[in-house]
Structure 1
Amino acid sequence: MVKLRLRENENVQDAVRRFRKLVEHAGIKREMRRREFYEKPSEENRRQKRRNERRSRMNSASR
């Protein structure tokens, strides 16, 4: 959960900017996009498998 306290004499625009940064840093935005549509477990597993394969290829290429 992201909490934001307004500082003394802080503009609303500055507070909104800080809030957006906090939300982005916490990963809430990414999580919302991921949960926007239902993904079947098989599709999720396939996506994770591809990501792991890409990572292993990148790691082996950099060594």
Structure 2
Amino acid sequence: MPLVRLRDNEPFEVALRRFKRICEKTGVLSEIRRREFYEKPTSVRKRKAAAAVKRQQKRTSMERNRYTRPNY
């Protein structure tokens, strides 16, 4: 859990903003949303496999675009 300490004469709103930024960077909120409901192990495997396929397609697309000339 991210921890934010109030500095001398620091307004609460500034500390709250820092806390929100830290939570966003560490992915706490997305992790909570992901774990909100039980996900079956088969669903987890299926989601991870789909993400891997999507990453691979994106990588091959980027490589293909890198070696082709732009049509200006």
> Aligned Cα RMSD in Å?
0.7
- Residue type at the aligned position of 2:24: E
Q: Distance in 1 between matches of 2:7 and 2:26?
A: 21
Runs of 4+ in 1 over 4 A off after TM superposition: none
Q: How does 1:18-57 map to 2 (within 5 A)?
A: 18-57=18-57
TM-score (norm 2): 0.83
Q: Distance in 2 between matches of 1:39 and 1:4?
A: 32
Q: Distance in 2 between matches of 1:47 and 1:9?
A: 47
TM-score (norm 1): 0.94
Structure 2: gaps of 5 or more residues: 64-72
Task: State, as a whole percentage, how many aligned pairs show the same letter.
Answer: 38
Matched length:
63
| Residue of structure 1 equivalent to 2:68 | none
Name which structure has the greater RCO, CA cutoff 8 Å, separation 6+: 1
Q: Distance in 2 between matches of 1:17 and 1:4?
A: 10
Structure 1: gaps of 5 or more residues: none
Give 1:8 shift.
1.1
